[in-house]
Amino acid sequence: MKTKNIVLFASGSGSNVENIVRYFQDSPDIVISAVLTNNKKAKVLERCDRLAISGLYFNRIAFYDNNCVQDILKVFNPDLIVLAGFLWKLPEKIIRAFPDRIINIHPALLPKYGGKGMYGSKVHQAVKSNGDTETGITIHYVNENYDEGAIIHQAKTTISADDDVAQIAQKVHALEYEYFPMIIEKLVRVEML
């Protein structure tokens, strides 16, 4: 059976990256080939060192103005590209090069609280400010617009008026850690059949 390669993109601390790497670390047929980041000070690079995973930094020119990142991806030939807390919009050339092979996780129940600038605590603050009684995660395919690709999976959690932004974030992170690796595995294994 052919080994399936996954490449992760992240911009921050990389807690989801670590969770995904640990989930697949004993898998005989699914490997995390590399983690790419647009932030040279991102804590995810420290996690990569600790987890013995290749961590690669790229700048805006390599991503948008030439084919450097796209060429790196071609070398890895990923079966799936996973955006795990990656904040830049993907260029259309990368989306076209890997059709239906790029997914993202969003910390809300899309289509609510999606779009440019809606990430992390900004999303949780909006949920709190609007008095929502539930929130959750959305795992979706990536297209040329922020948070508008086809939805693959959603998971919900209840929140109370007493929950602060940090408590909402904690509930959402718990859903991310539980569901994101399982959905990634399901997508990759469907391709293996």
Q: Is pLDDT of 1 > 80? A: no
- Return the structure tokens found at 64: 């948008």
Between the two ends of the chain, the Cα-to-Cα distance in Å is: 10
CB 49, CB 31: distance < 8 Å: no
Q: Is pLDDT of 5 > 90? A: yes
Q: What are phi and psi of 82, to 5 degrees?
A: -120, 120
* pLDDT tens string 102-154: 999 999 999 999 999 999 999 999 999 999 999 999 999 999 999 999 999 99
Residue type, 60: R
* pLDDT tens string 63-74: 999 999 999 999
Q: Which of 80, 136, 149 is nearest to 109 (CA)?
A: 136
Q: What would the CATH number be for the domain defined by 4-192?
A: 3.40.50.170
Instruction: Please give the positions annotated as active site.
Output: 106
- Return the structure tokens found at 70: 């796209």
The residue length of the chain stands at 193
CB 4, CB 188: distance < 8 Å: yes
Q: Which of 75, 72, 20, 77 is nearest to 51 (CA)?
A: 20
CB 172, CB 135: distance < 8 Å: yes
* Boundaries of every domain in the chain: 4-192
Q: What are phi and psi of 147, to 5 degrees?
A: 60, 30
